[in-house]
Every structure is written in C-alpha cells, then in structure tokens.
Amino acid sequence: MIELVLGGARSGKSRHAESVIRSCPGPWTYIATGRAWDEEMAERIALHRADRGDGWVTVEEPVDLPGALEKAEGQPVLVDCLTLWLTNLLLENHDIATATDALMQIMERRMAPLVLVGNEVGLGIVPENALARRFRDEAGRLHQRVAAKADRVVLCVAGIPMTIRRDA
Amino acid sequence: MIELVLGGARSGKSRHAESVIRSCPGPWTYIATGRAWDEEMAERIALHRADRGDGWVTVEEPVDLPGALEKAEGQPVLVDCLTLWLTNLLLENHDIATATDALMQIMERRMAPLVLVGNEVGLGIVPENALARRFRDEAGRLHQRVAAKADRVVLCVAGIPMTIRRDA
Amino acid sequence: MIELVLGGARSGKSRHAESVIRSCPGPWTYIATGRAWDEEMAERIALHRADRGDGWVTVEEPVDLPGALEKAEGQPVLVDCLTLWLTNLLLENHDIATATDALMQIMERRMAPLVLVGNEVGLGIVPENALARRFRDEAGRLHQRVAAKADRVVLCVAGIPMTIRRDA
C-alpha cells in the first residue's frame, strides 16, 4: 500500500499521514527530509517531531531518499516530505530526473506500507521569482509521477483528507 | 447547522454562503469583518454589499467576532470572512489562540444556522514575506479548528461548491 | 459537450484535455492562445506542442478566441488556455467583459466537442502586485462564467482529473 498525501500549508497532511502509518503494526520509520537551514525551519522540524509522539524511528535524510527507503524495507515508512527533498535536490544541484527515477524504482519494488507527504504549491499566481517557478514545475512533475505509482492519493483541506484516487 | 465555506479568490464562496443562509427563515444577520484599509478594500466591501441584496442586517465587527455571534444568537448568521478577521487580529497584535478558543466555545453552543466563509490561501508557493508565511500558517490552523466543529465543509472552485465533509 | 479543465502548474491539465478531444473523431483543432513573450514562454509552448503529437491542426490566436472558435465550428476543439488568453487581454487593454460575453455566446451555440483549459491561480496568498491581484480576480470571474456554461468541470491535481460537476 502506497499513499501520496498532498495539501497546502497547515492542512493536516502530516497528521493524516501519521494516522495511516499508525494503523499498521510497528515499528514505524519516519524519514525526515528537511534541513534546518534557519531558525524558522528548525522550529518547524522540532514542532513536527513533538506532535508526532512516541513509537517512531526517525531517519534524517535530506538527499538520498531512495537509499533511505531501501534501508527501511519491510517496515511501514512515512516520508515527510517530498517538497523538502525536492528543495534540497534543487538547491544542491542534483539531477532531479535521475533522483526521481531512483524513487520510482524503489516504489515499484516496495511491499510494506509507505506514505509520502507533499505540499501542493501550484494553485497560486505564477511567482515572479524564476527559481520559484522552476520549483513549482518540478514539484508538479514529481507529484504526478509519485501519484501514478500510488494506490491512493489524498488532498488535505482544512484537516480533511479528500481521496482523489483509490485503486480497488 | 454550521457550515464552513472555503475557496480561492472569486470562486463563488460568498454567493454560495448567502444562498445557504437565504434558504433559512429570516431575518438574516451578515457579520462583515473587513476593515476598509484602502480604496481597493472599500470597493470590494461595497461590491459585496451590493451583490448581497435586501433582507440582511449587516453588523460590522472587525475584531470581536465571538461577541458579535453571541449577540446574534437565535438568528441565521453569515460571517464574511474568517480571513479578514484573522488579518485584523494579526495586524493589531491580538492573541490569535485566545480569540479562536472564544470562537470555538460560541460554535459549540450555537443552535441557529451559521455559515462562515474563509479564503483558502495555502496552496501556492511559500511566500517570501515572513508575515505572509505566518498568516498562511495561522489561516490553515484556524480553518482546521473551524472545520472540526462544522457539520459541513465546502470548497468552492469556479463557482461550484464541492462538499468535502458532511456529517449525517 | 463542453468541458472546463482547471488545475495548477504541471497538474496534467493539458494531457487530460487532449485525451478527451482524442476520444472524439478527428480532425482536432488546437487553439493556442500563448504569445512567446520571452524564451521561457517559447520553450513552454514548444514543449507542449511536442507532447501533443500528430493529428492536430494548430491555430495560434492570442486575442480573438471567440472568432477562432467560430471558424472551427463543427470540429472538436481544445483551447489551451484561458489563462494566457486573459493575460493577453489584460496586457493589451482589451475589454475583458466584452470579450467574455462574446465567448459565452459562442459557447451557447456550440454543438461540437469543446474543451477549455485554465490555470487555477486563486488558492495562494494575496499577491503584493496590484496587476497580479486584478488578474487573479478576473481569472476567477472568467472560470465561473465558463464553468456555468460547461457540461463538465474537472480539477486536475497531481495528474488526476477530479470531476467537480457533471451534468446528466
């Protein structure tokens, strides 16, 4: 079972994703892709960790997400989130297509439950900043590819998970 | 019956919210939370009022929304909108958590129909402006709390109200 | 059959719209409304054309969309996209209400399949730029009017077309 959980800022994405993984027998692995670039980011990461509670093995992996998933094979895994992973790939000049291909291969082989969280960022006005435009395009492409390999895709709005695709 | 109506700019939120309240026996109370900071805002408020038509008692209350709701107990009320209320709380340095707690208490006791409108602002690229980022987070938190107390939550897109949660 | 396909950046709107038109007997007309203002835009247009493949008659019409639709009467038509058309109207100071009225009249008379693509841009934070705010409002109004005349309205998220209204 692979689920992609999309949503806007503070839409309840992580909480929903955690509840999906918690419904599986543990131990649960949490792959945190965020880098604490600045204080605001460090605070967000700490807040998320406190919200999460006990019972999680946390793995911090800002770049090699496919590798981290391979190591956690056989365990329920929550990836939080694709957006920060993509940010790191972009800012550190990794090849995004290659990294996404590797993620696709892992997803194809994956048997244990996997939930991936992503920020939907493409529904506002076109950003004036060229890097933000590129990021928005890359995020859209990544979400499309991950969605195509997921058994269920959910969009969270105001804390409510709307199922937008579920395979029988 | 409490309904939360979310949506983007010019998505038909207010029109839908008005039609829900108009289906209840009047008189109807309209709580306008907007402050006419500048000409553009004054114009938007006047336009909304003209669109609304007759039969409404308008109450202007930019900050004490819980108090205004208490005074209108027993009447169908439309709150337009949570987003401007939150803007006023933020810009005038009120404690948002305390104000939201007071709103939650009123919602719990509320018997007469209540429809609250909010702008969904969290689905674009992360804003560069720190105040905008904080606003976006606070709006997400507020919508989650209001949604949890509502009987029905609707997301308007292109004038179409999509029901995203409805309690039996 | 008239369908409005909305969605964010790289959400799979064009691909979905093309598949709807391809399911009709050809030849198919593609009305491209984009102007290649700069290299980035020229690249996007070329990419879309390459993705589209064979079997399409491409008409480039950045401003007179109603006229182009009239000429293509009787053939399945894909309009890609309303957002670029609106951008051109706005930047070249055309009267948007008049142009939209003309589009509505064509849609009312239209018998052959028509699919119109539009970018949903109203779900982010209010832009600081006044032109962007006006554009966002105009786009919302245009989508509401087109949606009201469509038989089906779809919102694409991560490549998944969510039907948000379908007439029997």
Residue in chain B lying closest to C162 (CA): B162
- Tell me: the pLDDT tens digits for C67-126? 999 999 999 999 999 999 999 999 999 999 999 999 999 999 999 999 999 999 999 999
Count of H helices and E strands in chain C?
6, 7
Contact C30, C56 (CB under 8 A): yes
Check whether A117 has a pLDDT greater than 70.
Answer: yes
Contact C148, B159 (CB under 8 A): yes
- Tell me: the pLDDT tens digits for B123-141? 999 999 999 999 999 999 9
Tell me how far CA of residue B36 lies from CA of B33, B42, B126, C59, C69, in angstroms: 10, 5, 27, 46, 42
Check whether A168 has a pLDDT greater than 70.
Answer: no
The overall average pLDDT reported for chain A is 94
Cβ separation B160–C137 shorter than 8 A: no
Residue % of chain B over a pLDDT of 70: 99
Average pLDDT of the segment spanning B142-162: 98
Instruction: Give me the count of residues in chain C.
Output: 168
pLDDT computed for residue A48 by the predictor: 75
pLDDT computed for residue A44 by the predictor: 75
CA dihedral (A157, A52, C160, C43) in degrees, to 10, reads 100
Burial of A133 (0-12, 13-18, 19+ CB in 10 A): middle
Tell me how far CA of residue A153 lies from CA of A113, B30, C159, in angstroms: 14, 38, 11
A114 pairs with which residues across the strands?
A: A2, A77
For B162, which of C128, C139, C164 is closest by C-beta distance?
A: C164
Report how many Cβ contacts below 8 Å link chain B to chain C. Answer: 68
A161 CA to chain B: closest CA distance, Å? 8
Single-letter amino acid, residue B27 = P
Check whether B49 has a pLDDT greater than 90.
Answer: no
Is B143 one of the annotated active-site residues of the chain? Answer: no
Binned at pLDDT 50, 70 and 90, residue C168 comes out as low
Q: Which of C107, C137, C120, C140 is nearest to C5 (CA)?
A: C120
Cβ separation B120–A9 shorter than 8 A: no
Cβ separation A4–C127 shorter than 8 A: no
What class does CATH assign to B2-166? alpha beta
Binned at pLDDT 50, 70 and 90, residue C130 comes out as very high
Check whether B48 has a pLDDT greater than 90.
Answer: no
